[in-house]
Amino acid sequence: MSRKSKYTGGFRPRKYESRIPFPYVVFDEKKEVYFRIVSGFPSTLAVTPIMKEHFPDDYKGYIASPKCWEEIKHLQKK
């Protein structure tokens, strides 16, 4: 189900329409999405709208700490 806002396209260039501006990792079996946001506030406020626009309702979004992000990247290499 797509829940794109009717206002989203008016504020972004077309080339960024489906792009997520942060590095992220999706774990489909756990239905979790981890984002790496270094800049902090106010960028962290974007996680909820990104989750609503790009992922199903039952997925949860998390902001990974530097330590957690390194563990995630290490797990992906295996």
pLDDT at 78 over 90: no
**Contact by Cβ (8 Å): 23, 11:** no
Structure tokens at 11: 């504020």
Q: What pLDDT was estimated at residue 77?
A: 73
**Structure confidence by residue, pLDDT tens digits, 3-61:** 555 555 554 444 445 678 888 999 999 999 999 988 888 888 888 988 988 888 899 99
Q: What pLDDT was estimated at residue 61?
A: 93
**Contact by Cβ (8 Å): 20, 50:** yes
In angstroms, rounded to a whole number, what is the distance separating the alpha carbons of residues 66 and 78?
Answer: 19
